[in-house]
Structure 1
């Protein structure tokens, strides 16, 4: 990643293939198993923590918490704590998170729609190696 002193942050040439580029970390947050599923669930609605955990089956409380913190830090998720008793915390996508998640959902729908071909390929692969 090359930087020029005095260049605004949003105009820096980022290169996800460069080891030190911060875009690589963000891409990992978005495309990791729990990140992509969390973003996908939040594309559907604003959710509380436990509702989000139920929607993303298999995620532990600890992993969901870590994922939400990373996505919030990257500016993709907004966390809003309500001053109620017990406390209520809602999570929703930010405008940036919505834009990224729209593209992510296109990929998710493509994968879901192509699963018959994937399953056939797996069967052929496994049969050849049996």
Structure 2
């Protein structure tokens, strides 16, 4: 595992391919990289297993209303449109264990970053 702040163009990162399967993709450039800027992050806490995701409202998550949906049928949704009771696709978790979530207050961490990849949607932890 590598912190997103340590990733640089040319590195390969885990991404979600068009078919819903994990794949590796080259980082091309950073569209947003401001390590000293404060920005409001939305915190989404999952229930089972417990996870805490801090992301901007414009981050995309793969969401479904039914945990039994295959990964390829989850839809990309902005973080600020995710609703309680929906399920968040998580790498390394079987479809039967996908996560619902509970909202929590926004935080103000430093350093928004948005790497552009050659394909897929970036998977982060």
TM bracket, shorter-chain basis: under 0.3
Structure having the higher strand fraction is 2
Q: Relative contact order, CA 8 A, sep 6+: which one is greater? A: 2
TM-score (norm. length: structure 1)? 0.21
Structure having the higher helix fraction is 1
